[in-house]
Structure 1
Amino acid sequence: MLEWAHTSRMKVAVVGVGRWGYNHVRVLSEIKRMNYDEVGLEDIIVVDSNAARAQYVAELLGTKWVSGVDELLSAHADAAIVAVPTVYHYTVAIRLLPHMDVMVEKPIAASLEEAEVMGKLAEREGRLLAVGHIERFNPVVPALKDRLQSETEKVVSISAQRVGPGPPGGYTLNLGAAHDLLVHDIDVACYLLESLPNQVVAKAYWNKHGFETDIAAIYSFDEKEVLGEFRASWRTSPNLKRRNIIVQLESKILEADYILQTITLEKGLAEHKSKGEYSELISAYTSRARESWSLLGIRKEPLLLEDLHFLRCIQRKEKPINGWEDGYRALKCIIHAIESAKTGSAVNIVWDGW
């Protein structure tokens, strides 16, 4: 049982209120407004080094605000969500962890060394450290996990595609497409398979700033005899975005659309004896059983579910499903993929002690 501090009514801060940090403030405001019985959310504190931005967001959403971490520490907050750029995750988190529980956006840090220091500090201080792997809270992911656990067939392969426009000018303090996008899908794959990959082979293209803009990686989950194929790319027009994952079993395929929150089940061909005519071959092919269902619904926004889980874990003193160890593992997977892409060789992933 974890033993971090618990308070019945919480003050929760959001550190960094750019595009994504703003969304955290928005859903926390909704959680407070809905007055969930098991989550005692008393105050929301907006924190940003840009005081004008902090004040604007606070006034827009009806919260308090401060202009820096020093002021936040004086406010005696109980928890914080860190949504600053990736390169600053470590600097901010180690300031906060001795004083409060923390959820840091994905990836957990820019390097494995930083991630491990953060995790060990949280353990020493008795603090909860979660990582914003939001797709674990997309309703399609637990639905897929439940379905796979009920199946008697083995998973044969898992693949994902995550494409969308990158940062303006190709430069960002959130690093490249692997840290930005690929980290989501390898985390979901490990979560669904309940296994870790032992090798990766990858190919990537880089921009003039040294960030990978397009990366494709094949991971071997030899423990489960599963191959995982993942592609993450910024090389799209501003209006093209796709987020999907496909899991193949021996006689069926499950495909989930993260954005539309739909799952499609496709089974193999129905029994059909063909005389070899083209029309009959097509008839056999189109006779597959196929069904789809939607999980969209009120209060099923993944970010709201993620933030609510974070608050509940603090209140109940429970370990989150997106703990720092999960963030560390996902980061290790993408760092090895980048290494493979740079060297042109397969890279083994060693999990001693993990």
Structure 2
Amino acid sequence: MKKIKVGVIGVGYLGNFHAQKYAAMEQVELVGVFDRNEARAREVAEACHAKPFTAYHELIKEIEAVSIVTPTTFHHQVGMECLQAGLDVMVEKPITVSLAEADELVQLAADKECILQVGHLERFNPGVMALEHYLDNPIYIESQRIHQFNPRGNDVDVVLDLMIHDIDIILSLVQAPLESIHPLGASIVTNSTDVASAQLIFANGCAATVSASRIAQTNVRQLVIHQQKSSLFVDYGKKDIIVVERSGAMTKTGFPVEEATHLPFPDQGDALLTELRHFIDSVRSRRQPRVSGTEGRQALAIALQVISALQEQQAARNLS
């Protein structure tokens, strides 16, 4: 089987892992990598037995598919050039910094008949993928993504850095339009929002509460899904899933009879490898990926609504 020629544009912390995963795939030829830091590009290229490029335009000429792992502000520019050249594109999340830019990427991918996948990594988390078997019209969803402070990734606020993961997951779980958003948040240690929460209300009556922080003392990553006959509890850190099923019977005190089952995370390797293999499978099969450009755009749209509301709240606080 012919190998797909792939490149990575941006090989900082995360881009380095993209390069490593591609280099290990039998069906892929990692042609080269580009980074504005030429020494970094050489370092990663040497480790992955690829070629370092000093201009990404030159890399584009030699490949069929690409991972764009640059700062978010460059996603649109680099993505448009890659799609214009006919490349299939895997772009890290968020897809872009604005809906107008996202729309242009999605439209160009459609016009060029190119694959456009957005790197919402948590969709490929084995725990999230295992939930699909137990889903039955969620009524209420709670998510927490609480991280210790890390200077990396602070080119965007906590909504685009962390919360957008859970927004994307919730959109994939609730098959109904979003009706309203009620956010809260604050800037604590950076110039943008560092801690935020939002209540999402959907047209089918489902509600979700999403919380994110990047200034915590400990890391917490959890997802809870309440349904009519069951509740699902996912702890990403402990790699544990608890399924609580309600039979309909009642105890003497009037509480529903419940049966809890602990499920280990499926052994599917690491999520990034699964995600990139899925991208390569989409490139080969020409099927739409699990997280398309359109879905990346939808997650961005809600994240930007949250950010806009938080900015209005901050402006009101400044006036008081």
Instruction: Identify whether the pair has TM-score above 0.5, normalized to the shorter chain.
Output: yes
CA distance in 1, matches of 2:168, 2:244: 24
Q: Deviations over 1:149-173 (max 9, x none)?
A: xx4xx421011000112332x9822
Report whether the alignment pairs 1:227 with 2:214: no
Structure 2 match to 1:80: 66
Structure 1 match to 2:80: 94
How many residue pairs end up in the alignment?
312
Report whether the alignment pairs 1:19 with 2:13: yes
Q: Which amino acid aligns with 2:231?
A: I
CA distance in 1, matches of 2:251, 2:105: 58
User: Is residue 138–residue 261 contact of structure 1 (8 Å, CA) maintained in 2?
Assistant: no
Q: Which amino acid aligns with 1:98?
A: Q
Match of 1:243 among 216, 221, 229: 221
Q: Deviations over 1:227-271 (max 9, x none)?
A: 01000111213xx21211110012421011234432111245974
CA distance in 1, matches of 2:28, 2:153: 36
Deviates more, 1:63-72 or 1:45-54: 63-72
Q: Which amino acid aligns with 2:198?
A: A
RMSD: 2.3
Deviates more, 1:205-214 or 1:307-316: 205-214
Q: Which amino acid aligns with 1:187?
A: D
3-state SS of paired residue (2:298)? helix
Matches within 5 A, 1:116-155: 116-148=103-135, 151=136, 154-155=137-138
User: Is residue 201–residue 341 contact of structure 1 (8 Å, CA) maintained in 2?
Assistant: no
CA distance in 1, matches of 2:238, 2:54: 37
CA distance in 2, matches of 1:259, 1:15: 30
State percent identity of aligned pairs: 28
* 1:64 to partner: Cα distance: 2.3
User: Is residue 11–residue 40 contact of structure 2 (8 Å, CA) maintained in 1?
Assistant: yes
User: Is residue 119–residue 325 contact of structure 1 (8 Å, CA) maintained in 2?
Assistant: yes
User: Is residue 144–residue 210 contact of structure 2 (8 Å, CA) maintained in 1?
Assistant: yes
Report whether the alignment pairs 1:172 with 2:154: yes
3-state SS of paired residue (2:309)? helix
Structure 1 match to 2:169: 188
* 1:125 to partner: Cα distance: 1.9
CA distance in 2, matches of 1:101, 1:64: 20
Unaligned runs of 5+ in 2: 315-320
Say which one has the larger Rg. 1
* 1:94 to partner: Cα distance: 1.2
CA distance in 2, matches of 1:321, 1:137: 9
Structure 1 match to 2:142: 159
Unaligned runs of 5+ in 1: 1-6, 275-280, 346-354
Q: Which amino acid aligns with 2:147?
A: G
Q: Which amino acid aligns with 2:9?
A: V
* 1:344 to partner: Cα distance: 4.3
Structure 2 match to 1:352: none
* 1:10 to partner: Cα distance: 1.3
User: Is residue 260–residue 296 contact of structure 1 (8 Å, CA) maintained in 2?
Assistant: no
Match of 2:48 among 61, 71, 74: 61
3-state SS of paired residue (1:235)? strand
* 1:195 to partner: Cα distance: 2.8
Q: Deviations over 1:21-77 (max 9, x none)?
A: 11111221222xxx3xxxx31234221111100111111232222122122134x21
* 1:337 to partner: Cα distance: 1.0
- Per the normalisation by structure 1, the TM-score is 0.82
Structure 1 match to 2:239: 261
User: Is residue 17–residue 46 contact of structure 1 (8 Å, CA) maintained in 2?
Assistant: yes
Structure 2 match to 1:9: 3
Structure 1 match to 2:181: 200
Structure 2 match to 1:272: 251
Q: Which amino acid aligns with 1:133?
A: H
CA distance in 2, matches of 1:290, 1:213: 35
User: Is residue 138–residue 173 contact of structure 2 (8 Å, CA) maintained in 1?
Assistant: no
Q: Deviations over 1:124-171 (max 9, x none)?
A: 2221111001111112222212211xx4xx421011000112332x98
Question: Which contiguous aligned blocks of 4+ residues in structure 1 show a shift greater than 6 angstroms?
Answer: none
Structure 2 match to 1:331: 300
Q: Deviations over 1:307-349 (max 9, x none)?
A: 001001010111111110000000001111112223349xxxx
User: Is residue 89–residue 104 contact of structure 1 (8 Å, CA) maintained in 2?
Assistant: yes
Q: Which amino acid aligns with 2:132?
A: K
Higher relative contact order (CA 8 A, sep 6+): 1
